């Protein structure tokens, strides 16, 4: 290192330092030689730097030997060793004890090797590395949070607990999650019942006999008009009743044969967008009031949500790879399973839910949950011995058959999304325009005449508004 310019500045400083400092009394006893430093020397920690002066020196002094150590190799060469992170001052004096110069020595962690390793591990990332006191400062832009974490982990190896993160994550960091709930339920029930009732005028009609199974075995009464036996029942779908008279004996036979079939389809497709690392919640349904008894005897109301629920936390890991923490549920009120508390009727809930964590790329789909249920019930009841009689025994037997099948699938699809201009988005209300009074009352139209529509004409909303919605509407069962 050359100190010619520094030496000239030091001599000027000596001349200026003769000026009075403070008051006159102090000027006679105190003279400031030089404040500040003339040069800055950066020394890596645990490494040495050799500097050379153009002027011979006689004495060297270091302000804080714990930060840097020094020794003279000759009357113009100085050996400086960095020991600990920090800043100190090196003072150089000549043979007459006059100040040659002050040098600011800055000792910092050696980041040369760290920069090289960082370029090898993350070659495409624009990360800047600086030292601050005894730590490392990382700045710049990285493509994902995963790569930023890799850089931080590597920096911790060189400066444990002394790493400052000023990096910014670039790229798309907003995730739209599309979830599809699809459930099919099918129910089949069959029943066959029979009853036989007889009676006569013996003992004034007080003598009679009734045999049967199931709900068909009910108390019979006499129809005075038709003079036949008719059971006391309601809801007689699938019921056949016939009877005959044999002298004073009346015989009535009732057969019940019923078959029920039902199919239910449930489909929901909630969509929700969230920033990477932030939680998003979605609920389409309602809240059901539930009374809760308190210790003092009072009753408070708590509301339990039901419907389609979706909670998820997306994390963009690397590029288009997305980590999803997901909670999804579909619930509905079940009136068949309820409890009665005093005068309050509380319904139960049917709930299908899943909680999982998956990783997939932009646009890929995953079936995160599936449920297949097949319940089968078969019941056969009969009158003892009589039900075992061939052919006629069918009049004294009843059979019930019921089968319920259910299948549920939950599919998730994440997408990396960016904002767009508002006019590029189409709304459901853009499809239909309210009719005028003329169209409504004179022509019975529920939407405006296409030629007189005030719907948007440009952009995506205009394309949607131009679609034809004048055909029949409602539900079509295949």
Q: For residue range 238-252, what is the model confidence (pLDDT) as tens digits? A: 666 667 676 667 767
Distance CA(59)–CA(92), nearest Å, equals 6
Q: Which residue has the tokens 């809240």?
A: 287
Q: Note the pLDDT of residue 280.
A: 92
Q: Note the pLDDT of residue 325.
A: 93
CATH 3.30.1340.30 assigned to domain 111-169? The reply is: yes
Domain-wise residue ranges, the chain? 39-108, 111-169, 177-181+263-380+396-417, 428-466
Residues in the chain, pLDDT under 70? 1-38, 196-242, 244, 246-248, 251, 423-424, 426, 430-431, 449-478
3-state SS of 314-349 is EEEEECCEEEEEEEEEEEEEEEEEEEEECCEEEEEE
Q: Note the pLDDT of residue 457.
A: 63
Contact 133, 106 (CB under 8 A): no
Contact 282, 301 (CB under 8 A): no
Q: What is the pTM of this model?
A: 0.57
Q: Note the pLDDT of residue 311.
A: 92
Strands 271-275 and 174-200: antiparallel
Q: Note the pLDDT of residue 29.
A: 63
Q: Note the pLDDT of residue 324.
A: 92
Q: Note the pLDDT of residue 108.
A: 80
Distance CA(381)–CA(384), nearest Å, equals 9
Q: For residue range 353-381, what is the model confidence (pLDDT) as tens digits? A: 889 999 999 989 988 888 888 888 888 88
Q: Per CATH, the architecture of 39-108 is what?
A: Sandwich (2.60)
């Amino acid at each position: 290192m050359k100190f010619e310019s520094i030496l000239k500045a030091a001599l000027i400083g000596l001349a200026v330092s003769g000026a009075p400092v403070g008051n006159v009394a102090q000027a006679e006893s105190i003279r400031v030689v030089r404040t500040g430093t003339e040069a800055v020397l950066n020394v890596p920690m645990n490494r040495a730097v050799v500097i050379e002066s153009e002027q011979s020196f006689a004495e060297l002094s270091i302000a804080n030997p714990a930060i840097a150590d020094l020794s003279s190799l000759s009357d113009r060469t100085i050996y400086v060793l960095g020991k600990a992170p920090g800043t100190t001052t090196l003072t150089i004096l000549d043979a007459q004890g006059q100040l040659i110069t002050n040098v600011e020595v800055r000792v910092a962690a050696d980041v040369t090797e760290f920069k090289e390793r960082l370029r090898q591990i993350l070659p495409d990332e624009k990360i800047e590395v600086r030292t601050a006191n005894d730590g490392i400062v990382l700045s710049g832009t990285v493509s994902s949070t995963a790569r930023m974490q890799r850089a931080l982990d590597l920096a911790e190896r060189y400066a444990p607990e002394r790493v400052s993160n000023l990096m910014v994550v670039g790229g798309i960091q907003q995730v739209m999650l599309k979830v599809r709930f699809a459930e099919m339920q099918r129910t089949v029930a069959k029943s066959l019942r029979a009853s036989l009732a007889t009676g006569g005028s013996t003992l004034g009609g007080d003598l009679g006999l009734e045999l049967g199974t199931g709900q068909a075995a009910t108390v019979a009464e006499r129809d005075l008009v038709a003079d036949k036996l008719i059971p006391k029942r309601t809801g007689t779908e699938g019921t056949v009743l016939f009877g005959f008279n044999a002298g004073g004996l009346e015989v009535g036979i009732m057969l019940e044969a019923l078959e029920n079939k039902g199919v239910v389809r449930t489909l929901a497709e909630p969509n929700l967008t969230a920033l990477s690392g932030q939680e998003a919640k979605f609920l389409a349904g309602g809240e059901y009031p539930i009374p809760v008894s308190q210790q003092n005897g009072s009753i408070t109301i708590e509301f339990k949500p039901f419907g389609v629920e979706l909670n998820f936390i997306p994390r963009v890991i690397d590029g288009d790879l997305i980590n999803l923490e997901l909670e999804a549920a579909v619930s509905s009120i079940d009136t068949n399973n309820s409890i009665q508390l005093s005068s309050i009727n509380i319904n139960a809930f049917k709930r299908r839910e899943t909680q999982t964590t998956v990783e997939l790329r932009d646009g890929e789909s995953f079936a995160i949950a599936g449920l297949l249920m097949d319940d089968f019930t078969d019941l056969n009841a009969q009158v003892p011995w009589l039900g075992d009689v061939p052919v006629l025994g069918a009049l004294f037997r009843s059979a019930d058959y019921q089968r319920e099948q259910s299948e549920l699938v939950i599919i998730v699809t994440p997408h990396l999304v960016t904002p767009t201009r508002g006019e590029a988005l189409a709304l459901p209300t853009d499809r239909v325009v309210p009719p005028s009074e003329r169209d409504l009352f004179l022509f019975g139209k529920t939407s405006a005449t296409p030629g007189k529509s005030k719907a948007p004409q440009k952009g995506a909303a205009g394309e949607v508004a131009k679609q034809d919605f004048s055909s029949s509407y409602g539900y079509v069962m295949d």
